[in-house]
Structure 1
């Protein structure tokens, strides 16, 4: 079943007010962060708060993910242990650089693991990483830019080839792919432009760091009325009894195959997303 992930909002697990507010926001995914957004002295309390928030529920149809600390840090192993029995939809592992890190996390939590691709080493090991079985790849553009010492600018030109590599790896393994964050908090137009670039590259949605970025991301990654209408037409045509079992049919003068049906179902899943 396809899950819409147009807007993936990161917020510090140590901030109870932010967590409570997230329960009513229009984002598709809430990521309770134990890593970058939490100071070292608050790591343990944030871990406890994340688990308690997950058990309290109230996130409606939003997917709930927790970003653990890196597995090579003093907190990573304890994070995974605490999240093993927590009612979260997935665990996001930062700074994944090797397939072994994905395998270790999957074994520890026995639930879907998302991998953040934000190091140069990870880009060189993408094939092995996706073969280790993550459920999604998340581009960590800020850390990647820092490690590369590049200057992305508004067009993110130095990162575009690498973002395309992440997309190719994710699609080859049938994984979700989430674009990196925009650092523009008070400029919705800038967020929208960056989200549109991500959409054109092939991402499913965008990582966000502030509630003000949700609406621009949702606008961009929500299919247009024309796209929805065509998807409905394709799905209805394949559902006709005379087309049962056929791999290719004619729809409104076009040749349509099963791959188009798969895309139509994805479009309808995103367009029909209801959060509550």
Structure 2
């Protein structure tokens, strides 16, 4: 067991000091692109200004024959593209693959300070984070980096969900977690072939009509991921890191995508993955507070003064708990407005 005093000491001689608080930058959408595809690489300078996070994907979706090309594409972007305010992330291959070590080595030694976060898939316990933590410290020392790279883990197995609190607290590098619904569904032996979203078979049904047992009964589709997202959010908040919903696979069903993103937003997630340009706008809208809510939050905070006591506002009781909720909305709105002039005007901030 490590002493608490050691937690914020570098894990390698010459490595940068670990951060003590996760830096929050707008990350409403983590937009994935395949860096092995030349056509997509050429579009990066145009896509980058439209998203909060641009992620070079080296893992799932990249054929084994293209792994080295994907790694080279990541380095090309890191070394040649001006990202401006947009964060550059990469998802490396899983720790049990033959490519992960080379991914991490190239990302640190060649991507260097251009990279903000390394996403690690299929994390099952704190030991996975400990391995990555130590290795990154050694590589950072070798590269002479002055700021530590952050780590983002994906929950894709039942064991990972069972260990989620320990994963969140495994390292000061932990930036956040994403839900990986497809791999998690397979690992749990869930009977769905969908990538995120609900399922028409997962439902509740109204009681039968006592006067007509054969009358139609209304059904309501339920959210397969409610429990997992809620648990992930609690674990992240407990450790001061950020929760994200992952992918929504049906690109054509923008309505259901928006619904799933909004469910995650309301439960506490700060963003979601976008797999196609059509999902960028959905994430930007959903994970930005509604202007009506921002205006209401401003009124409540102004009316409550020092935040104690209670009052009636528009027929509703507002008290210190209301102020805390409103400050969450206003803080997010202010952070987004500082990067987005259109939002600043809309929010009047």
TM-score higher than 0.5:
yes
Deviates more, 1:112-121 or 1:206-215: 206-215
Distance 1:259 1:160, change over 3 A: closer
- Summarize the Cα distance change of 1:234–1:32 in structure 2 as closer, same or farther, 3 Å threshold: farther
Partners of 1:160 and 1:18 in 2: CA distance: 34
Q: Deviations over 1:232-266 (max 9, x none)?
A: 5678799xxxx8xx675889964445675455222
Is the Cα–Cα contact under 8 Å of residues 228 and 271 in structure 1 kept in the other structure?
no
Report Cα offsets for 1:51-83 as digits up to 9, x if no partner. 121111222222110000011110111111111
Partner-residue secondary structure (3-state), 2:32: strand
Is 1:16 aligned to 2:38, yes or no? Answer: yes
Equivalent residues of 1:167, 1:202 under 8 A apart = yes
1:77 and 2:89 are equivalent in the alignment: no
- TM-score, normalising length from structure 1? 0.86
Q: TM-score, normalised by structure 2?
A: 0.70
SS of residue in 2 equivalent to 1:48: helix
Question: What RMSD over aligned residues (CA atoms) do the two structures have, in Å?
Answer: 2.6
- After TM superposition, what 4+ stretches of structure 1 lie above 6 angstroms from structure 2? 234-238, 249-253
What is the number of residues matched between the two proteins?
269
Structure 2 unaligned spans of 5+: 1-22, 137-147, 193-197, 201-220, 342-349
Residue 98 (structure 1) aligned with residue 125 (structure 2): yes
Distance, in Å, in 1 between the alignment partners of 2:326 and 2:130 is: 33
Shift of 1:23: 3.3
**In the alignment, does 2:57 pair up with 1:30?**
no
Query: Which structure ranks higher in relative contact order (CA pairs < 8 Å, sequence separation ≥ 6)?
Result: 1
1:43 matched to 2:67? The reply is: yes
Query: Following the alignment from structure 1 to structure 2, what is the Cα–Cα distance between the partners of residues 249 and 57?
Result: 52
The answer to whether the 8 Å contact 2:289/2:329 transfers is: no
Gaps of 5+ in 1: none
Equivalent residue for 2:233?
A: 167
Select which of 132, 137, 148 maps to 2:188: 148
Q: Residue in 1 aligned with 2:134? A: 107
* CA positional deviation for 1:35: 0.2
Query: Deviation per CA, 1:94-116, whole angstroms, max 9, x where unpaired?
Result: 00001111122223234100001
